[in-house]
Amino acid sequence: MATVARGEPGVEREDDRELIESARAGDSGAAEELLLRHELTVWRACRHLLPVEEDLPAAVQETFYRALKNLTHYSGEGKFSSWLVAIAVNYCRDRLRRRRLVPFMALEARDDDDPDPIAVIPSREPDPERVAMARQAAQWVGREVRALPERQREVFTLRFFAGLELEHIAEALGVDVGTVKTHLHRAVHRVRRAVSEARP
């Protein structure tokens, strides 16, 4: 079995089930290991599904707490990560409904908070002009994603930021894969256009 970094999205291990059983019996060590394995998926999903005004750590904590509290309700049919993401999505939807911020408008603030959004883009040519263009494209993508209709934003976020496969997005959102593809195609179309417009 290939070793994968702990917490990397998309990672699902066969022995999740063992940890789930132990956590259900009250084993806090097993519960923590379970959270460790899937935490980045939840962080990334919440980060892009919530407006910047929301308390991101509080959202992640609430997702973890709800998951552990309701662990006995996890049937084991779908992937654990899909089930966990479903909890996160429901929490984010609830927060947005409460704040009546769909679609939310605070777009620039998050960009300001990010230390360097372009830092993760591999570049062999540190050409300042190219870096500036890439930075602008990233900002436009962020803006465009936050302006997407709710379901398109969810699908896009779970696919590109949380790293879920299409069938697991379908599980998490409770829709079929065809619906996921439709939303994703529309979202990608808008984002790709935004990137094209960012070019000089």
Positions touching other proteins (CB under 8 A) are 7, 26, 28, 31-32, 35-36, 39-40, 43-44, 47-48, 56-57, 60-62, 64-65, 68-69, 110, 114-122, 134-135, 137-142, 145, 159-161, 166, 181, 184-185, 188-189, 191-192, 195, 198-199
Residue pair 88/45 in contact (Cβ under 8 Å)? The answer is: yes
Minimum Å gap between C-beta 28 and other proteins is: 6
Q: CB 46 → other proteins: shortest distance, Å?
A: 11
Q: Which is nearer to other proteins, 60 or 77 (CB)?
A: 60
Least distance (Å) between residue 74 CB and other proteins: 14
Nearer to other proteins, 94 or 114 (CB): 114
Distance CA 194, CA 186 (A): 13
Q: Which two tokens mark 57?
A: 């750590």
* Nearest approach, Cβ of residue 37 and other proteins (Å): 11
Compare residues 64 and 80 and give the one whose CB is closer to other proteins.
64
Q: Give the residue with the Cβ less far from other proteins, 79 or 157.
A: 157
Decide whether 77 or 164 has the Cβ nearer to other proteins: 164
Instruction: Give the CA distances from residue 126 to residues 14, 180, 199, in Å, rounded to whole numbers and listed in that order.
Output: 42, 37, 17
For other proteins, the closer of residues 100 and 155 by Cβ is 155
Sign of the Cα torsion 102, 140, 41, 179 reads positive
Residue 75 neighbours by CB distance under 10 Å: 7
Collect all residues with Cβ–Cβ distance below 8 Å to 129 and sequence separation of at least 6. none
Helical ranges in the chain per DSSP H: 16-24, 28-49, 56-69, 80-99, 108-113, 128-147, 150-156, 166-173, 177-198
**CA 150, 155, 161, 164: dihedral to nearest 10 degrees?**
150
- Beta carbon of residue 77, minimum distance to other proteins (angstroms, whole number): 23
CB of 47 to other proteins, least distance (A): 7
Helix 177-198 / helix 166-173 crossing angle, nearest 10 deg: 110
CA 148 to chain centre: 15
